[in-house]
Structure 1
Amino acid sequence: MPHYPSWEQTLAGKHWRSTHFPRIREDMPTFLGVPYAIRDEDLEGADVVIIGAPFAAGWGKKYSGVDKADWLTATTRIRQQSIRYRGGYVQEFDLDIFEHLKVVDYGDVDLPLEASYEGTVERILEAQAAVERKVRAALDAGAVPLVVGQNSPCASYAIGRPVAERHAGPIGMVSLDTHWDAWPYDWATMSPHIAGSTNWKDKLYRDCPNFSIPNLVEIGERGMLEDPEVVRRFVREGCNFMPMWKIRTELGIEGVIDNLDQAWSGTDAVYAHFDMDVLGGAGPAEGDLLGELAEPIGMTDYEAIRIAHEVGRRGCAGLSFLCIPPGSAVMYRVIVYAITYFLAGLAMRKATATDGARGA
């Protein structure tokens, strides 16, 4: 693992920031310096609530060949990298997102460290329930919960399930991933109660029948890892599957964006899930940062950020990130960009709705 800069090195030279930003801990600023929410009442009026879910699955000290300590630092390091920027002004759009959106940071869910090293069914379910509580609080406030984590169920199922509970009609999904995560069981526990790294999507569709496979837009898988029946089932039942091969040879990013609309067609809400191992073992996530999760034909940073922005422009009820490539400052900045450009899309959507209401 390459040397990662210290908090002091990350902040050095950022004179426009200095020490003038809220902190969750001494070395953890809030995301982009937004207000720090410490209780549910602080979420009132928020459009988006940032939530950290530091959880690594399984037993022992490593996940997919990478030290769990490197996975678990993501929620801190992403916030640290965000504070190098001046604020919410996105120059490409001449847009200050905070002029249109109220965003608050609800800190990290209080997950015991043991849950990431002692993978018992009881500990995993307790961690999932703790994330769901914060997600539901954000939804109760009328906000979009935006969860940054590293593994399932804490940064996938724990967002999708509360979203499904809020709506009676069909729920769409935009999913970026290298893997389908739709096996019929969790390999780590072999427990039917766990929505783990290998099966969270299958369990979400079983537990929440309003999640609609014809409204699933699945992006980025490739290679020879999947059980053919898993893939064929979802394709047969109507999902829009865009593997990286098809994106490179046929669709391009504009074709991908056009196909996103299937998630919103006839649905009450959409949940977006970004598994960042989709960036692969080449391109922006070079080498073996992802350990066993690294695969060739990775998505580019621009493609992932663009999709996040387009999801924001269409609006969604919840967004989550996991499997963020550990140990690289620029990879954490990719997540900062993906979140910020998603927020820019939401801000554009809100501004358009406001202008339309004024003109009515």
Structure 2
Amino acid sequence: MFPRLAEDTPTFFGVPHALDRKDLEGADVVIIGAPYVAGWGNQYFGVDKAEWLASCKRVRQQSIRYRTGYIQDFNLDVFENMRVVDYGDAAIPERANTEGTVDIILASQAAVEAKVNDALDAGAVPIVIGQNSPCGSFAIAKPVSEHTSGKVGMVSLDTHWDSMKYDRFSMDPRVAGSGNWKDVTYRDLKNFDPSKLVEIGERGMLEYKEIVRGFLDAGATFVSSWRLRTELGIQGTVDLLPKAFEGTEAVYAHFDLDVMGGSGPAPGDILGDLAEPIGLTDYEVIRLAHETGKLGANALSFICIPPGSPLMYRVVVYCIMYFIAGLALRKHGRAGR
């Protein structure tokens, strides 16, 4: 027995369904769905959009298989320590997932921003389950920026830097799209400081050198998956996360799960053309989510959740719960920056 958002969609872990801003009062964490897939037509990078769009529902469905919020690894019951509510999905127009006009993209972004703003206004940490930019990235970064007077840091896991100078679907500078949302973030959100960016997971030959070197020259901390495997290991990478938190008033954690490539519990090819070798493992991604929570991140979001794999949806469930566990440990003085 659990609350449902629809007949086939439980709330995340069966937590209370928040219907409006009043229901967010006293919440520590707010779960938000952002079912949006970019571009025209019915496929995204060779995978049917219906598969991508199912992620918000599928993650919630997989969460309900766990009968308790007790995490053995930390001897911690998350829900005894943190009040979590599910705020449902943002009101993204259905045609936004097949039509790439600027007006519908910006309307979809605004729908996610509205829910994220409600969560931040309530003093809670929003966790957004999305699939594409801007709805799963810039729509979270912007409210965090607007709620913060000082500098904002970022922990970003990705296969791509998403820092081109244009959105290739709309070709419009107002759109913070799949390939350029990070460029728009640092262009338009002035308190996002690139020297407080910890970027993890990119590898290989996908990027122009001017983009990567530009971030490095600005002081960003970059851990390619090659560097993680050869020089740092997961603990050395964890030890670099505080660089996003030192001297900042807020930190946004962005997890683009194409970073897992072929190293997760499901074949990388389910990502279509987005799959790349030397991906991060499920453990590495979950560990980084937990450690980012322990450090006190103010928002977390997911995009490019690999479609069609129940086990990959469980990875997202673990990331969310281990992240919240990190927040709980910090809240009760068992973690620190």
TM-score (norm. length: structure 2): 0.98
Structure 1 unaligned blocks of 5 or more: 1-19
Q: In the alignment, what sits opposite 1:114?
A: 95
Q: In the alignment, what sits opposite 1:194?
A: 175
- After superposition, residues 291-306 of structure 1 pair within 5 angstroms as 291-306=272-287
- The DSSP-based 3-state class of the residue aligned with 1:352 is coil
Aligned residue among 299, 304, 307 for 1:326: 307
Deviations 1:194-249 (A, max 9, x none): 00000000001111110011100000001111111000000111000000110111
Conserved? CA contact 2:268–2:276, under 8 Å: no
The separation in 1 between residues aligned to 2:53 and 2:132, in whole angstroms, is: 10
Structure 2 unaligned blocks of 5 or more: none
The separation in 2 between residues aligned to 1:153 and 1:308, in whole angstroms, is: 21
Aligned residue among 18, 23, 30 for 1:42: 23
- The DSSP-based 3-state class of the residue aligned with 1:50 is strand
1:137 aligns with 2:121: no
Aligned residue among 21, 26, 33 for 2:7: 26
Identity %: 63
Q: In the alignment, what sits opposite 2:329?
A: 348
Q: In the alignment, what sits opposite 1:285?
A: 266
1:308 aligns with 2:289: yes
Conserved? CA contact 2:260–2:268, under 8 Å: no
Query: What is the RMSD computed on CA atoms of the aligned residues?
Result: 1.2
The separation in 2 between residues aligned to 1:95 and 1:153, in whole angstroms, is: 34
- The DSSP-based 3-state class of the residue aligned with 1:45 is coil
Aligned residue among 73, 78, 93 for 1:92: 73
The separation in 2 between residues aligned to 1:167 and 1:331, in whole angstroms, is: 33
Runs of 4+ deviating beyond 6 Å: none
One-letter code aligned to 1:209: K
1:167 aligns with 2:157: no
One-letter code aligned to 1:169: G
- The DSSP-based 3-state class of the residue aligned with 2:333 is helix
- The DSSP-based 3-state class of the residue aligned with 2:19 is coil
- The DSSP-based 3-state class of the residue aligned with 1:232 is helix
Distance 1:283 1:335, change over 3 A: closer
CA drift of 1:282 comes to 3.6
Q: In the alignment, what sits opposite 2:191?
A: 210
Q: In the alignment, what sits opposite 2:224?
A: 243
CA drift of 1:287 comes to 3.9
The separation in 2 between residues aligned to 1:39 and 1:319, in whole angstroms, is: 21
1:254 aligns with 2:259: no
1:82 aligns with 2:90: no
Aligned residue among 239, 244, 247 for 1:266: 247
TM-score (norm. length: structure 1): 0.92
Q: In the alignment, what sits opposite 2:162?
A: 181
One-letter code aligned to 1:148: I
Deviations 1:55-113 (A, max 9, x none): 00000000011000000000000000000001211011110011111000001112122
The separation in 1 between residues aligned to 2:125 and 2:320, in whole angstroms, is: 12
- The DSSP-based 3-state class of the residue aligned with 2:74 is coil
Conserved? CA contact 1:151–1:197, under 8 Å: yes
Structure 1 or 2, whichever has the larger Rg, is 1
- Alignment size in residue pairs: 336
Conserved? CA contact 1:281–1:290, under 8 Å: no
CA drift of 1:285 comes to 3.4
The separation in 2 between residues aligned to 1:282 and 1:262, in whole angstroms, is: 26
Q: In the alignment, what sits opposite 1:335?
A: 316
The separation in 2 between residues aligned to 1:263 and 1:282, in whole angstroms, is: 26
Conserved? CA contact 1:279–1:285, under 8 Å: no
- The DSSP-based 3-state class of the residue aligned with 1:92 is helix
